[in-house]
Amino acid sequence: MKNLIIATKNQGKLKEFKNFLHSFQLSIFAQPNELEVDETGKSFMDNARLKAIAAAKYTSQIALADDSGLCVESLGGAPGVFSSRYANNDSERICKLLKELENIANRNAYFAASLCLSSPSGQILFEVEGRCHGVIVTEPRGKNGFGYDPVFEVNGTGLTFAEMDSQQKSSLSHRSNAFKLLLPKLKTLLD
Ligand code: IMP
């Protein structure tokens, strides 16, 4: 059985990745605690690459990393790679976003998730990006999820991510769209 390092220390993310990868014969581990990687990239993919390569070289194993965030059309793609650093906490981030969009008609936005797989020597094996398109609503709705979920309504559903249960969100999300692209490539690599 092959080992795969997930370039995160977040146990929630590790669990989510294990679910997406359940059909593979893989022993899956989080990256070592002592490894710190600065997310200095200009794009989600830059950051996913930085994290995957660092974890792979550090452990001498294949490593998979992700980076994700929200891009709002009328804000020129902001908050983008700064999604988690846009303000101090989720509710302040949502307040700031709604204030920026006050009186703005174009509320189109998308979540993006980049995934990058690195060989133990730091060679990029493949990378994919999944998106989920929607609009930023004017008032938060729903109690589920995290981050910007209460203000992101998914196109064609009439529901924010926070109004969906976890199963519905994960069938539509940017992360699941990225994994749908990753899985056949991973299958070819492991076979
Ligand atoms: P990371 O890729 O886990 O570092 O996530 C970056 C940031 O993007 C998070 O802290 C959230 O603010 C935002 N984000 C990413 N994915 C989602 C999502 O599915 N729902 C809500 N916010 C998200």
What integer pLDDT is reported at residue 131 of this predicted model?
98
What integer pLDDT is reported at residue 135 of this predicted model?
98
For residue 69, the ligand 1 atom closest to its alpha carbon is 8
Alpha helices (runs of H) in 21-116, residue ranges in sequence order: 44-59, 90-100
What integer pLDDT is reported at residue 52 of this predicted model?
98
What integer pLDDT is reported at residue 11 of this predicted model?
87
Ligand 1 binding pocket mutation candidate from 31, 40, 68 (most atoms within 8 A of CB): 68
The answer to whether 6 touches 17, Cβ cutoff 8 Å, is yes
Q: What is the CA radius of gyration of the chain?
A: 17
Q: Which two three-digit tokens encode residue 191? A: 């076979």
Cα separation, 99 vs 115, whole angstroms: 31
Give the 3-state secondary structure percentages of the chain, helix then strand then coil, rounded to 5: 40, 25, 35
The string of DSSP codes covering 50-66 is HHHHHHHHHHTS-EEEE
Does the beta carbon of 84 sit less than 6 angstroms from any atom of ligand 1? yes
Question: How close is the Cα of 112 to the center of ligand 1, in Å?
Answer: 9
Does the beta carbon of 44 sit less than 6 angstroms from any atom of ligand 1? no
Cα separation, 8 vs 1, whole angstroms: 21
The string of DSSP codes covering 141-172 is --SSSSTTGGGEEETTTS-BGGGS-HHHHHHH
Q: Which two three-digit tokens encode residue 59? A: 């452990």
From 38, 66, 67, 165, the catalytic residue = 67
Domain range summary for the chain, segments of one domain joined by +: 2-190
Mean pLDDT per 10-residue run, the chain (191 residues)? 92 88 94 95 98 98 96 98 96 98 97 97 97 98 95 98 94 95 92 78
End-to-end CA distance of the chain: 12
Does the beta carbon of 111 sit less than 6 angstroms from any atom of ligand 1? yes
Ligand 1 binding pocket mutation candidate from 20, 44, 70, 144 (most atoms within 8 A of CB): 70
What integer pLDDT is reported at residue 95 of this predicted model?
98
CATH 3.90.950.10 fits 2-190, yes or no: yes
What integer pLDDT is reported at residue 16 of this predicted model?
86
